[in-house]
Amino acid sequence: MPEQQTPTASQSSNDEFIDFLLSDQKTPEHTLKQQAQAVKAARHAATGRQQASFRPAAKPAIVFDRVTKVYQAQPGKPALNKVTLQIAFGEFVFLVGHSGSGKSTFIRLLNRELTSTRGTILVGGENLSTIKKWRIPYLRRNVGCVFQDFKLLPKKTAFENVAFALQVIGKSKAVIRNQVPEVLRLVGLGDKQHKRPDQLSGGEQQRVSIARAIVNRPPMLICDEPTGDLDPQTSLGIMKLLERINHTGTTVVVATHDKQMVNAMRKRVITLEGGYLVRDEAEGEYSLNA
């Protein structure tokens, strides 16, 4: 299983992963590429414990500046209330909070599925309040998304589900033939490429959805309850996979209820309560009552 590999085992393959990202000349998100380059440069400069302690000096991957989101159906109760934070490129961040605290709202603002009511959101330096409509698909190419319910196409195989993500952005058959098996191997499904979702376990289906989210090498990966429907052992495998992806330089944000997992992983933990950011701790714990 892939989680048995140590995330930092291969410096050179991590660099290849970022090289791969940088080689996609068709992607017009230059800012994000520059940040990936900064990650790579800083990684080479770092000695000893590289990724865990490393914070690139480049501008942040994500900035929330007094962000408020009010849904029309609940005008008196903002889902997010003056949330201010920054997430550096290359970080792994858990977003925790009780049901209704605003986690999914936060995630959906990041890929511009929602727009903020007040405040400013920057993703890779791009202001999501003023972003031109035509640029939104390019933003989304740089922000891979993983959801609790996998959202796989039921009649397509694992290979076809992942290939579809490349087809819609116009990648050639040659790129698809090359990249899809590679990413499926990366998530530990090299031998299950031709299985349909109903022939795969929940954990395997989530791996397919992660493969789909990262196949185009986005600099950011955002996940909303990715282990919500999985048992603890399978969840651990998925989290270890996300950690491994993070160690390639990808910024990873995971909204979750999974207290055991958050406490085991010792990552930055941002806690929301009733739409307010109430805690933000490096190597934090899940400190809400059940």
Q: Which residues bind ligand ATP (CB under 6 A)?
A: 71, 73-74, 79, 97, 99-105
Distance, CA of 184 to CA of 192 (rounded, Å): 8
Residue 268 binds: one of Mg ion, ligand ATP, none (C-beta under 5 to 8 A by kind): none
Distance, CA of 31 to CA of 123 (rounded, Å): 10
Nearest distance, CB of residue 72 and ligand ATP, angstroms: 7
Residue 246 binds: one of Mg ion, ligand ATP, none (C-beta under 5 to 8 A by kind): none
Q: Name the percent of the chain in helix, strand, coil, to the closest 5.
A: 40, 20, 40
Nearest distance, CB of residue 100 and ligand ATP, angstroms: 4
Question: What is the distance between the terminal CA atoms of the chain, rounded to a whole angstrom?
Answer: 32
Minimum CB distance to Mg ion smaller for 203 or for 226: 226
Residue 97 binds: one of Mg ion, ligand ATP, none (C-beta under 5 to 8 A by kind): ligand ATP
**CA atoms within a 13 Å half-sphere pointing along the CA-CB vector of 105:** 26
Minimum CB distance to ligand ATP smaller for 78 or for 188: 78
Sheet containing strand 92-96, edge to edge, reads 143-147, 220-224, 251-255, 92-96, 268-273, 276-281
Residues 6+ apart with CB under 8 A from 47: none
Distance, CA of 195 to CA of 94 (rounded, Å): 31
Please tell me whether residue 81 binds Mg ion under the rule CB under 5 A.
no
Q: Are strands 220-224 and 126-127 parallel, antiparallel or unpaired?
A: unpaired
Nearest distance, CB of residue 111 and ligand ATP, angstroms: 14
Nearest distance, CB of residue 143 and ligand ATP, angstroms: 17
Stretch touching Mg ion by CB under 5 A, among 11-19, 95-103, 125-133, 277-285: 95-103
DSSP tag of 208: H
Distance, CA of 269 to CA of 283 (rounded, Å): 7
Minimum CB distance to ligand ATP smaller for 165 or for 270: 270
Q: Report how many residues bind Mg ion under the rule CB under 5 A.
A: 2
Token representation of residue 200: 């795969």
Interface residue with Mg ion among 51, 81, 104, 251 (CB under 5 A) is: 104
Minimum CB distance to Mg ion smaller for 33 or for 103: 103
Minimum CB distance to Mg ion smaller for 60 or for 102: 102
Nearest distance, CB of residue 223 and ligand ATP, angstroms: 12
Binding residues for Mg ion, per CB under 5 A? 103-104
